[in-house]
């Protein structure tokens, strides 16, 4: 896959653009990149136009100036979608990408045909979680990004020895996140709002995917809001990284949701 870049208000956004048909946009999680979706993109590109973007401060995307926030990330993704000339998309956000997706849905719902949270939650950080963000930023300052990623990534996968190769791949993607980009995202996540009201009030179809063994966002946190337009799916044996742990199943879930 060849990466492309567009300029959004002076910030470069890097993305993949594969396949033809109805457009869907994939957003990765914290210290990931568009490469998180490398196993899922070819499966979905058989039926759809798949755009996987690097969030600001990750992968090949720049970091906008000013105070970091989830809303500013959503604004950058909106700018990229506008630059690509897309009227409406289905937006799928993994973890941090899910927080960005909810902020996008709150501000720009007219741009959405549907949206999805994958291993994510509408709830805010707990007080303990906020302290953890500060500890993480301190660790990055003290020990660097690589040491931080080495500690973070194994916890993203279901417990056990099953996915060692995938853990290494995810680590290598994480190493490419700048310290500035990682710390900006930690600050944005710490300060994010509770967006449960977005799920309660939206009129568009919503897909929520949880991993049965997710140690970061357990299913009960993902599924806290229910509604007639909200489809909930649990992927068995997966942790926080079903795009690596069960890519075929995740692609099938996404395809089924979009075809409904």
Per cent of the chain over pLDDT 70 is: 100
* Residues 44 and 17 sit within 8 Å (Cβ to Cβ): no
Residue 9: CB atoms within 10 Å: 11
Residue-level pLDDT at 162: 87
Q: Determine the pLDDT at residue 260.
A: 86
DSSP 3-state of 161: coil
Q: For 149-167, write each residue's pLDDT tens digit.
A: 999 999 999 998 889 999 9
Place of tokens 């039926």: 47
> How far is the C-alpha of 135 from the C-alpha of 209, rounded, in Å?
28
Given a cut of 70, the residues of the chain with pLDDT beneath it are none
**Is the model's pTM score more than 0.85?**
yes
The long-range contacts involving 168-174, CB below 8 angstroms and separated by at least 24 positions, are: 169/244, 170/32, 170/36, 170/241, 170/244, 173/31, 173/32, 173/33, 173/35, 173/36, 173/59, 174/31, 174/32, 174/145, 174/149
At 160 the pLDDT is: 86
Of 198, 170, 13, nearest to 94 (Cα)?
A: 170
Q: Which two tokens stand for residue 172?
A: 């290598």
């Amino acid at each position: 896959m060849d990466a492309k870049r567009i300029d959004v208000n002076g910030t470069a956004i890097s993305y993949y653009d594969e396949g033809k048909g109805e457009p869907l946009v994939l957003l990765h999680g914290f210290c990931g990149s568009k490469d998180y979706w490398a196993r899922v993109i070819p499966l979905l590109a058989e039926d759809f136009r798949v755009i996987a973007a690097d969030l600001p401060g990750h992968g090949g995307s720049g970091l906008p100036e000013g105070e970091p926030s989830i809303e500013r990330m959503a604004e950058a993704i909106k700018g990229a979608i506008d630059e690509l000339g897309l009227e409406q998309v289905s937006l799928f956000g993994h973890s941090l990408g899910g927080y960005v997706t909810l902020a996008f849905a709150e501000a720009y719902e007219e741009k959405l045909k549907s949206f999805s949270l994958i291993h994510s939650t509408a709830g805010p950080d707990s007080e303990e979680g906020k302290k953890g963000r500060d500890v993480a930023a301190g660790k990055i300052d003290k020990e660097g990004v690589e040491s931080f990623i080495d500690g973070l990534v194994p916890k993203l996968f279901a417990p056990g020895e099953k996915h060692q190769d995938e853990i290494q791949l995810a680590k290598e993607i994480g190493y490419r996140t700048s310290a500035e980009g990682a710390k900006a995202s930690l600050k944005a996540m710490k300060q994010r709002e509770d967006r449960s009201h977005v799920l309660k009030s939206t009129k568009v179809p919503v897909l929520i995917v949880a991993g049965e063994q997710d140690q970061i966002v357990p299913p009960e946190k993902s599924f806290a809001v229910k509604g007639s337009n909200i489809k909930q799916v649990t992927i068995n044996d997966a942790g926080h990284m079903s795009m690596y742990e069960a890519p075929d199943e995740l692609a099938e879930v996404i395809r089924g949701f979009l075809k409904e």
